[in-house]
């Protein structure tokens, strides 16, 4: 039992979904976990500390001070005691406080003192959930390393239908078990990931590029690092940030710079995931000054090939090294992806199509199919890129981790 003996802090906030926290507490205890509940004042309006204490077997903490004799609850001690903290349900107000460090209650101060991983399960009405401020705060918490258990679709307390329901307790427990079971399954592995676009300069102010945001590569880097891998993230120009301390970021601009960085780092790696959208061509001549229009009706640009990073790594790959490529296609998707895998000597290739709504450049979601050299195929539904990264790591890296 992966939760046996684990110390879990369960934060409960003022939501009608607080009744699910009683079920969650019971399930966690049944799995062998020790559960310490921290509840906000608003949370106590929806479920009583007496009920929660009976289920957890421990006094429920709500206020900073236990009584009038000077004793108090130490959020610092809770942060050291816990193996994991989960806030379920998490209201928009608490999400906002956590994202911005507003430590005006015991739950948020406990979060700010937490040394262990933190999970958060939002619960609120659909308009509040999709509001730009709520989504901004959730995105900020993700960037801070908080694991978000996405809200589910269904009937809400307002009797409206939509996204905002707290995930079911049974599913949350399964996610926590999976987290502890796979938390360090890539420990001691060294993985190189390429991400983002490359820019090929025409002159000091213009370049040839593409619409890649780098989101898929960064999600893969965070997922691998969270599982214990040492990650070298070679990224083209992007505004994204990498938060995990196991990630070493190498910034490049052009395909040639990415090529040099990849070839320099790859020999020390166990695996490489090549998710960058690398320009195939660059201008043959680069002007050192801004090119003026000067009344010209036509401007001809001569292009030459960039070095092929994937093919070059495929040629120097040693036994025991694993390479995974990406193929973004618009037609004959599987045939083109399989051809690319063969040409580049990939072990696996992740196919996504611009014909699938929500997939490809710029989106927060992706829809992929993982193809292997031996002809196996795994297709997945449209998911967030964070979840796609988990699928790739689960079904490729972790599934065959002993072979590389």
The active-site residue out of 100, 210, 246, 355 is: 210
Residue 139 tokens, joined: 């995105």
CA angle 229, 213, 382 (to 5 degrees): 80
Residue 171 tokens, joined: 């599913």
Provide the 8-state DSSP code for 46. T
Residue 61 contacts residue 32 (beta carbons within 8 Å)? no
Residue 404: strand, helix, or coil: coil
Return d(Cα 398, Cα 93) in angstroms, integer.
37
Q: Is 352 a catalytic residue?
A: no
Return d(Cα 323, Cα 317) in angstroms, integer.
8
List the beta strands (DSSP E) in 236-347.
247-251, 271-274, 281-283, 303-305, 322-329
User: How many other CB atoms are found less than 10 A from the CB of residue 237?
Assistant: 16
Residue 357 contacts residue 335 (beta carbons within 8 Å)? no
Catalytic residues: 210
């Amino acid at each position: 039992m992966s939760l046996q003996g684990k110390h879990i802090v369960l934060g409960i906030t003022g939501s009608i979904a607080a009744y699910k926290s009683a079920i969650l507490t019971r399930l966690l205890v049944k799995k062998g976990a020790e559960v310490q509940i921290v509840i906000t004042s608003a949370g106590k309006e929806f479920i009583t500390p007496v009920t929660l204490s009976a289920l957890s077997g421990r006094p429920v903490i709500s206020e900073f001070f236990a009584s009038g004799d000077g004793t108090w609850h130490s959020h610092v001690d809770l942060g050291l005691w816990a193996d994991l903290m989960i806030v379920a349900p998490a209201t928009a107000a608490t999400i906002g406080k956590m994202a911005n460090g507003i430590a005006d209650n015991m739950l948020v101060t406990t979060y700010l003192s937490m040394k262990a991983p933190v999970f958060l399960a939002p619960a609120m009405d659909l308009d509040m959930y999709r509001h730009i401020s709520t989504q901004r705060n959730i995105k900020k918490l993700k960037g801070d390393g908080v694991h978000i258990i996405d809200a589910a679709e269904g009937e809400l307390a307002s009797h409206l239908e939509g996204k905002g329901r707290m995930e079911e307790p049974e599913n949350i427990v399964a996610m926590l078990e999976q987290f502890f079971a796979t938390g360090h399954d890539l420990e001691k592995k060294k993985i190189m990931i390429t991400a983002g676009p490359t820019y090929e300069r025409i002159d000091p102010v213009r370049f040839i590029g593409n619409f890649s945001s780098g989101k898929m590569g960064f999600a893969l880097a965070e997922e691998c690092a969270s599982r214990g891998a040492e990650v070298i993230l070679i990224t083209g120009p992007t505004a994204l940030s990498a938060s995990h301390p196991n990630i070493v970021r190498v910034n490049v601009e052009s395909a040639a710079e990415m090529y040099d960085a990849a070839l320099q780092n790859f020999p020390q790696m166990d695996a490489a995931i090549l998710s960058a959208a690398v320009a195939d061509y660059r201008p043959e001549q680069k002007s050192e000054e801004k090119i003026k229009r000067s009344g010209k009706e036509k401007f001809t640009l001569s292009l030459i090939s960039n070095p092929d990073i994937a093919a070059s790594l495929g040629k120097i790959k040693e036994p025991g090294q694993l390479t995974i490529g990406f193929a973004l296609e618009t037609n004959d998707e599987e045939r083109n992806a399989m051809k690319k895998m063969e040409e580049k000597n990939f072990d696996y290739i992740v196919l996504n199509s611009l014909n699938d709504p929500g997939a490809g450049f710029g989106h927060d979601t992706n829809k992929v199919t993982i193809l292997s050299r031996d002809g196996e195929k795994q297709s997945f539904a449209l998911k967030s890129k964070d979840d796609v990264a988990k699928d790739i790591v689960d079904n490729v890296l972790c599934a065959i981790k002993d072979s590389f």
